[in-house]
Amino acid sequence: MIMIGLLILLFALLSPFPSPTSTWAGASYEETLKQLAEAITERATKAKKHRLAFLDFTDSHGQPTAIGQFLAEELGTQIMVAGELTVVDRTLTYSTLKKLHVEHIDSDHAKAVRRVAKAIRADAFVSGVSIETPDGLQLTTKLINSSNGQPIGAARTTLPKTGPLNSFFKKEESPQPMASIEGPNEPAPPIGLGTHRNEDYELVLTAIDKQDNRVKVDFTIANHSSRDLKLLCHLQDTVLKDEHGTVWHQGVEENREGLCTRGLELSPHRKQRAVLIFTASSNQSPSQFTFHFHEKLPRRDASFTIDGLMLRPSPGPADTTP
């Protein structure tokens, strides 16, 4: 019996697969997401995988969900900003999957997985499953080898239903509004800090956060036309201006996969998240910004502004997350 116990312990220590269950109870949404990103980075680095492609996270039945797509974007952005690994633009990933007619990234379709990986130069794929629990949203992620579709690592955490996730659960719990008799074709007002809508797409600015001399701006962009759409902006001319007159610019290194470098491709009626990062050398502490967007595609040299954008308050040392 002692010998059997020693053999089991030895097998556990020498197993090449990382532990799939890592949870961080009591942390905030941002801190939990950061820790999950660090766990995935650690597993990818150990497996010598340096360029990751994220897939839409699904529910327990394998169906993509809005919250799953959002979390895949959040996690990919967190890893990209950390700078240790490269993250493939998800628009490129899904346009390649569509072009090559690939629907599954797993070991049963290893040949197709290799074709996609070669086309987007991905070393590994990251998939995920989210399940709502009484404690929060349980998220299990897998690192998938691009050469054979086999899982080579996993990590799990439970995200609190706070911060950006709160809006998803509020939408699910709130009753459906009654249809308006007057003007039934009028689109519902978007939820966010500011919006711009034209004949091709709708851009909704959902969050703006500042850390040191860096400001991160989150968007959702929806293609409401009946054709495939590519949105591309001018890197140097798409800027933020604060109330002190300081202009915040984008850097190439921090926006290598961004909206003003690679652009964003959307199928008709599909929505996607985008992130832009701005920096400036300023000793002042801004609290309000105006967003200036200079478009290349689909409208040549079109521009618009969204003003009155307030920073989200930074949590103080005494703040706690329920």
* Residues 83, 13: Cα–Cα separation, whole Å: 30
Q: Are residues 35 and 153 in the same domain?
A: yes
Q: Are residues 230 and 109 in the same domain?
A: no
Judgement on whether residues 89 and 209 belong to the same structural domain of the protein:
no
For residue range 72-99, what is the model confidence (pLDDT) as tens digits?
888 988 898 888 889 998 888 988 998 9
Cα–Cα distance, 224 to 199 (Å, whole number): 8
What residue numbers bound the domain in which 64 lies? 17-162
Residue 152 lies in a domain: yes
* CATH number of the domain to which 279 belongs: 2.60.40.1240
- Does residue 45 sit in the same domain as residue 149? yes
Q: CB neighbours of 49 closer than 8 A, spacing ≥ 6?
A: 85, 123, 124, 143, 145, 146, 152
For residue 265, the model assigns a pLDDT of 87
Q: If you ran DSSP here, which 8-state letter would residue 83 be given? A: -
Q: Please name which of 269, 207, 262, 273 lies closest in space to residue 230, comparing C-alpha atoms.
A: 262
Distance in angstroms (rounded) separating the CA atoms of residues 190 and 195:
7
Alpha carbon 252 to chain centroid, angstroms: 19
Q: In the predicted model, what is the mean pLDDT of residues 151-171? A: 81
Count the neighbouring beta carbons within 10 Å of the beta carbon of residue 281: 7
Highest mean pLDDT among 24-33, 147-156, 312-321: 147-156
Is there a contact between 68 and 137 (Cβ–Cβ < 8 Å)?
no
The size of the chain, in residues, is: 322
Q: Please tell me whether residues 148 and 202 are part of one structural domain.
A: no
* 318 band by pLDDT with thresholds 50, 70 and 90: very low
Residue 274 main-chain phi, psi, to 5 deg? -140, 155
Residues 29 and 149 in one domain: yes
Residue 180 is assigned to a structural domain of this protein = no
- Please state the domain count of the chain: 2
Whether 103 is covered by a domain: the verdict is yes
Strand 51-54 vs strand 86-87: parallel, antiparallel, or unpaired? Answer: parallel
* Helix or strand holding residue 130 (H, E): strand 124-133
pTM of the model: 0.50
Q: Are residues 134 and 260 in the same domain?
A: no
**Residue 213: what pLDDT?**
86
CATH number at residue 156: 3.40.50.10610
